[in-house]
Amino acid sequence: MSKQTPRKQSARKPSAAQQAAAKQADAPQATGRKTPGTDSGAGSAKAGGGRVPAPATAPAPEADESPAKELSRRRLLGTVGAAGAAGLVVGGAGGAAGVSAAQDDAPAALTTVGSTRVPFRPAGGGHQAGITTPLQAKGHLVAFDLAPGTDRKAAAALLRRWSRTAEELMAGRAPDADTGVALDAGPSSLTVTFGFGHSFFGRTGLTKRRPIALDPLPDFSADALDPARSNGDLWIQIGADDALVAFHALRALQKEAAGRARLRWQMNGFHRTPGATAHPMTTRNLMGQIDGTNNPKPSDRDFDERIFVGRDADQAWMRGGSYAVVRRIRMLLDDWEKRSRHDQEKVIGRRKDNGAPLTGGSESTPMRLDANRPDGLPVIPANAHARIAAPESNQGAAMLRRPFSYHDGFREDGAPDAGLLFICWQADPLRAFTQVQRKLDRGDALSPFLRHEASGLFAVPPAAEPNGYVGQPLLEG
């Protein structure tokens, strides 16, 4: 946060209650971002992997008048003053809530969020960031097509430049020829993830190095896809806990593509801001459903086998990489919100408040798919989304769902143009996404409330080697 110039002292002395509240707000606190869980629901979920919050440190005695403390005191007193005396006499509970709100908004929490850094090159090599990284508050998905005349060598130069810029930005440093958009911001958990589309290989003369798993997805009966917003030669996923930081990265990469690649489409998404709830859980989508329950977890024995390409891959450059399926799914929210909560829960197969299966327990309780009601019908309906999408219903098929919500205004009929930017990761799309989507396509109770409007499949190689760039083994191998 930028340092603020202290305001001139008001002639009006704060009341004793105000001074006491300010003193309490100045007390050091242990703050930090709670690591999100890793679970799946209405077609998506939060990714696994934990972010370690920065430890809280007690301030030194001489630091009592630090800018952070002064900001905290001014913020509290300003709020109390604006509320007036009436705000102070609503009762003990109201007063406590006011102090708590000021404490929760303390600069230490903001600093923790802003200073969190995700490495561009994981120690010892590995996967690109943005796959198992906890979901960030803001996301941009963009696809580029190579400009005419951009050959393999020119594409390599672009990926080299993009990788260098992404590494600088993710470390919180300004890249070359920076615009200065986010000079006073930390990295804010920024991640930049690069992928290659099916058409990239033909344009660069690399068709023999195109993986079989990158074959186009099949058509589904519910698809109403816009070709202009689907696929692409190159794909970038940007995520950050600060919208300005995310835009800064998008703008820097888009400028560097000039003359080499042209923007094909862009989609902007969001997710819950860190600290927005006192009880973090798996993310909620715009239908109000907890979305992400039962997602594969990095601690699972077969996690790498399911999500990342193994050593037996047909293309060596993709070993350790993953395949991203991207779908823009518009939700028919007006129709959905006309349904009772009871009906909505039957469609999903889970409770709306806590994500627990209709067979009981908590969000993490396994579904009892064989449980029946007294009338003999299944407790979790046969066409419930959670039942049909479950690995148990798909020969163990699973994918790591890591979506963003989106809202692009309102349509001509007044309905919201809003829904899910569905992103899932897997070692083999045919055995994961395609297998599950085919089953959903045949009888998912949620399908009448969804419209699949854009789609893409991208090969996401492993992270760049030291002093290298993403995709180097493909482009120079």
DSSP string, 453-477: EEEEEEEE--PPPTT--TTHHHHH-
HSE (side-chain half, CA atoms, 13 Å) at 104: 11
291 is catalytic: yes
Please, are residues 183 and 252 in contact by the beta-carbon 8 Å criterion? no
Q: Which residue has the tokens 């508050």?
A: 137
Locate 14 and state its tokens.
């704060």
Locate 248 and state its tokens.
């800064």
Hey, what amino acid is at 326?
V
Residue 273 phi, psi (nearest 5): -70, 140
Cα 75 to Cα 340: distance, rounded to the nearest angstrom: 42
Please, are residues 302 and 54 in contact by the beta-carbon 8 Å criterion? no
Q: Which residue has the tokens 């024995």?
A: 301
- Residues 48, 122, 120: CA angle, nearest 5 degrees: 95
C-alpha to C-alpha distances, 43 to 127, 421, 433, 439, nearest whole angstrom? 24, 10, 10, 12
Of these residues, 39, 291, 428, 444, which one is catalytic? 291
Hey, what amino acid is at 160?
R
Residue 372 DSSP code: B
Hey, what amino acid is at 293?
T
HSE (side-chain half, CA atoms, 13 Å) at 196: 31
Beta bridge partners of 140: 238, 268
For the chain, the 3-state helix, strand and coil shares in percent, each to the nearest 5, are 30, 15, 50
Q: Which residue has the tokens 């929760």?
A: 104
Cα 472 to Cα 144: distance, rounded to the nearest angstrom: 18
Cα 226 to Cα 237: distance, rounded to the nearest angstrom: 20
Cα 134 to Cα 470: distance, rounded to the nearest angstrom: 21
Any residues with CB less than 8 A from the CB of 179 and at least 6 apart, and which? 248, 251, 252
Helix (H) / strand (E) containing 476: helix 472-476
Any residues with CB less than 8 A from the CB of 377 and at least 6 apart, and which? none
Find the DSSP H helices in 116-210. Answer: 152-170, 198-203
Hey, what amino acid is at 276?
A
Residue 317 DSSP code: G
Positions annotated as catalytic residues are 291
